Chains A and B, each alone.
Chain A
Amino acid sequence: DAKTTQPNSMESNEEEPVHLPCNHSTISGTDYIHWYRQLPSQGPEYVIHGLTSNVNNRMASLAIAEDRKSSTLILHRATLRDAAVYYCILEGANAGKSTFGDGTTLTVKP
């Protein structure tokens, strides 16, 4: 199964943009890139997903490299409520194939 690699931690100042990177060099052609975030003592929540093109939604933007071997989750203006662990995973066509690594712990400083 394809795996992803993320930095263990990142820091940001409030109101500034945050770019969270993810490497997935073994991604297959049909894998979608999904991002989730997890607040302390809660279940993860879906943030955004994409296949090849960059994607925007109300929570974030997802920039996908042309070769699809990496992607970046962009929070345009970080708030204190964005402090969480962010997971980048690959989803195939069937359930049970995705792997959650340890994610990136984002700290937002006021």
Chain B
Amino acid sequence: DGGITQSPKYLFRKEGQNVTLSCEQNLNHDAMYWYRQDPGQGLRLIYYSQIVNDFQKGDIAEGYSVSREKKESFPLTVTSAQKNPTAFYLCASSMPTVDKNIQYFGAGTRLSVL
């Protein structure tokens, strides 16, 4: 099936630890995104990438890092510099030039701090 796959579904981080969230898409989309969602709130953009080997900071990039070495993959690392990482993380992809930038979302990763 075509779509966005995020893993793991649940993740726990210890103090001072970096963790990496996986996001893979087989939709052949150029653009990919990472969002953070806190309880009862909307989505906030962390990073986005419009093309392989290029990415831009979103509204809340501090404490996070990404890479885009392959078109289908856009992993997000939550570093120890992110002091409040507990949240629901959502990955999305889109094809801006074709599909009016309709975003397709994964099922999310819920990150908690031990």
Contacts and interface: CB of A to CB of B under 8 A. Distances in A.
The binding surface of chain A is classed by DSSP as loop
Contact of A43 (B44, B90, B94): B90
A93 B99 CA distance: 10
Contacts of A46: 102-104
B100 interface: yes
B72 to A, nearest CB: 16
Given A46-B102, A102-B41, A103-B42, A95 B96 contact: yes
Contacts of B42: 87, 100-103
Nearest to A36: B103
Interface residues of B, number: 31
Chain A interface residue bracket vs B: 20 to 34
Query: Closest 6 interchain pairs by CB?
Result: A43-B105, A95-B31, A96-B48, A100-B43, A102-B42, A91-B101
22 contacts: A32-B100, A34-B102, A41-B110, A45-B105, A46-B102, A49-B100, A87-B42, A87-B43, A91-B101, A91-B102, A92-B101, A93-B96, A94-B96, A95-B48, A95-B96, A95-B101, A98-B103, A99-B59, A100-B35, A100-B44, A101-B42, A102-B42
